């Protein structure tokens, strides 16, 4: 997929033309996946561009590297200002996706990564709409398992970690599904390749706990907070594979996916085959929040202009 990248990227504290932002083939991250990234959404509501939960994204951005002793050599404020700045520099006035990432540069083939390894930071952005069909998608459980903390930190958004997501997605697509669902090492539901998962049973909203190797998603956290504010009965617990197909509703959450209904799981219709009432409520609440139509969550938005 070719991205309609903005004219400028932010690269080590400078605004650089996209075609000029290059790295050598000896870059460590190319060989070993030693890169850390975030996905951030900004929403244009006709009056201003608002970045969703910027502070939380920047904090996780730094924390992901700490698992591997990879240094983010700029303050949180510099990174936050850079996210805002790249939108301004490109005069973005439509909803967009923002990708900050940092990576180990020219470090040879040395596997002994320390805080002193050279790192670089880049941020780019591009217009972005729906990742999935908001009327609902199909999903299927794949044979590949989500990796666990027994092998590598599950809460680090590392480039190398997403090879697990890639191979799961490939299997799901071969099986004719829009998206994959991965089980954890115990055989319980973990998450999708790039999204957290929620199910609804008898009016109760459920999601796997973080012990399932699920990422502590920022959109996931938002949905949990919204559910509690709406007095929706919510619980985190183990979810078995068999529970998926008897769920009343299923939806995915993520920065790119936002709130995406699953209307068919393992080729079995979920509910009536349409987004359910709680799913639709969450979709509407989320849309109102990111479009700055709900003052109760205004603190989640950072204005660009």
Q: Decide if 14 is catalytic.
A: no
CA distances in angstroms from 240 to 183, 187, 202, listed in the order given: 9, 7, 16
Catalytic residue among 13, 22, 89, 157: 157
Q: How far apart are CA 23 and CA 106, in angstroms?
A: 9
What residues are annotated to the active site?
157
């Amino acid at each position: 997929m070719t991205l309609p990248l903005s004219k400028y990227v932010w690269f080590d504290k400078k605004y650089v033309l996209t075609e000029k932002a290059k790295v050598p083939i000896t870059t460590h991250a190319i060989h070993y996946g030693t890169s850390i990234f975030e996905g951030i959404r900004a929403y244009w509501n006709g009056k201003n561009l608002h970045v969703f939960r910027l502070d939380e994204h920047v904090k996780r951005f730094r924390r992901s590297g700490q698992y591997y002793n990879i240094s983010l050599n700029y303050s949180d404020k510099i990174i936050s200002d850079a996210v805002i700045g790249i939108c301004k520099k490109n005069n973005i006035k439509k909803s967009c996706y923002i990708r900050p990432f940092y990576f180990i540069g020219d470090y040879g083939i040395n596997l002994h990564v320390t805080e002193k390894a050279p790192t670089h930071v880049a941020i780019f952005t591009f217009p972005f709409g729906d990742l999935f069909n908001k009327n609902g998608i199909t999903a299927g459980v794949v044979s590949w398992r989500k990796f666990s903390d027994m092998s590598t930190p599950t809460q680090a958004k590392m480039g190398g970690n997403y090879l697990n997501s890639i191979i799961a997605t490939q299997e799901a697509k071969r099986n004719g599904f829009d998206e994959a669902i991965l089980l954890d090492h115990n055989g319980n539901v973990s998450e999708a390749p790039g999204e957290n998962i929620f199910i609804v049973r008898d009016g109760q909203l459920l999601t796997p706990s973080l012990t399932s190797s699920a990422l502590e998603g920022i959109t996931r956290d938002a949905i949990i907070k919204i559910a509690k504010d709406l007095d929706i009965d919510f619980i985190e617990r183990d979810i078995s594979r068999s529970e998926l197909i008897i769920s009343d509703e299923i939806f995915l959450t993520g920065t790119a996916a936002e709130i995406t209904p699953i209307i068919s799981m393992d080729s079995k219709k979920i509910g009536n085959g349409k987004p359910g009432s709680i799913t639709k409520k969450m979709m509407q609440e989320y849309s109102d929040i990111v479009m700055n139509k709900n003052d109760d969550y205004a603190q989640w938005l950072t204005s660009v202009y």
